[in-house]
Structure 1
């Protein structure tokens, strides 16, 4: 399949279930997940990640993005964590009940002296780079014939869940990427992206300039 066809095929699909789906032999494989992440990591980036952040964490890449991968069993365990602790996870739990995997995509900010985060040029570049990595991830996942949903994370953005998933507090969640196996979502509620094909044509979002 050509890259143009993959881009056209990629879509947002939210798959929801109130009850956990049984884990089958056809969930996404570890090798597929590793390949997806490897291609995500081919995205461009302008600045290396903050050195202090790299020095204090086990992941040592100079790229500004990080990916934390939950396989199918861990997705179900996380859904149970919500329930066991009476945490209202809403649609996050419903997706964890059906997902074959969840990837928490974060970016590493350049902190000020008081550890506040400022949307300066370097941090904007880090966000852009991580977004490019996520797009790579979505396209390769689509090429492998899985469905995806890019969520802002909801409660998964909170410090308690960062700690639970061994994500450094300073890292900022840019997306919770849910991956669904098409063969395992029968009987679930499926909601497509509300903005698909609503961006207009190229004349609505681009123009040639001259000087």
Structure 2
């Protein structure tokens, strides 16, 4: 890779930042379907080590072997979901982000069927860890692709959007687990509140979280 190309890639990675846009009233609807489909196509080049279980690939409309799924909501769907949440008394920040979003991506990952009783969300196996890591790489690709196009974005843990009822509204199979709800916002946010991430400048220098290994075979 030449220096110019490396500089472009490095620049996008460093430019990526959390941008949370909160609107009390819905912003004008923007048709971003074409852009979102570009982002998803790019995100799909994430590495994955193991293929998804047949329980995920042989049922439903999405049959890819990759261990993640992206469920896409355009701006009208975001506004409709916002309204339902408000009517149900949701006072979290989710409705305010849905009021501002041009789109939202429900990014899920596909755990293997458990071999026995499970405590927690999924069985803690090596294969499931690899599925989860691959899905995380796909989400990061999505964020970087959005950043490269000047699309403000926010990776949310999902809150109410990970509940079974929300999965039902969106037609997401119960066997999938939400990794994050990725909100995509317009460049023009009007009078909406815009909040940056709180940890961006606290990660420290690379020497705080990386080290060269010195092998010791006497241990």
Q: Tell me whether the two structures share a fold, i.e. TM-score over 0.5.
A: yes
Between Structure 1 and Structure 2, whose CA radius of gyration is higher?
2
CA distance in 2, matches of 1:76, 1:44: 33
- Extract unaligned runs of 5+ from structure 2: 1-6
Structure 2 Cα separation of the partners of residues 34 and 3 of structure 1: 21
**8 Å contact kept, 1:108–1:171:** yes
User: Are 2:32 and 2:103, in contact at CA under 8 Å, matched by a contact in 1?
Assistant: no
- Per the alignment, in what secondary structure is the counterpart of residue 5 of structure 1? helix
Q: Does structure 2 conserve the Cα–Cα contact (< 8 Å) formed by 1:89 and 1:155?
A: no
Segments of 5+ residues of structure 1 without an aligned counterpart are: none
SS at 1:182's partner residue?
Answer: coil
Superposed, which structure 2 residues align to 1:32-181 within 5 Å?
Answer: 32-84=35-87, 86-113=88-115, 116=118, 117-181=122-186
More divergent stretch after superposition (140-149 vs 50-59): 50-59
Shift of 1:115: 7.6
Is 1:12 paired with 2:45? no
Residue 4 of structure 2 is matched in structure 1 by none
- Residue 205 in structure 1 maps to residue 209 in structure 2: yes
Checking the alignment, whether the CA contact within 8 Å between 1:45 and 1:125 is kept in structure 2 is yes
TM superposition outliers: structure 1 runs of 4+ over 2 Å: 113-117
Aligned residues: 206
Task: State the SS of the aligned residue for 2:100.
Answer: coil
SS in 1 for 2:66: coil
Using the alignment, how far apart are the partners of 1:96 and 1:32 within structure 2?
18
Q: Considering only aligned residues, what root-mean-square deviation do their CA atoms show, in Å? A: 1.4
Farther off after superposition, 86-95 or 34-43: 86-95
Task: Report if aligned partners of 1:17, 1:97 keep a CA contact under 8 Å in 2.
Answer: yes
Q: Distance in 2 between matches of 1:208 and 1:94?
A: 45
Shift in alpha-carbon separation, 1:72–1:128, aligned structure 2, 3 A: same
Offset, 1:82:
1.0
1:22 CA displacement: 2.3
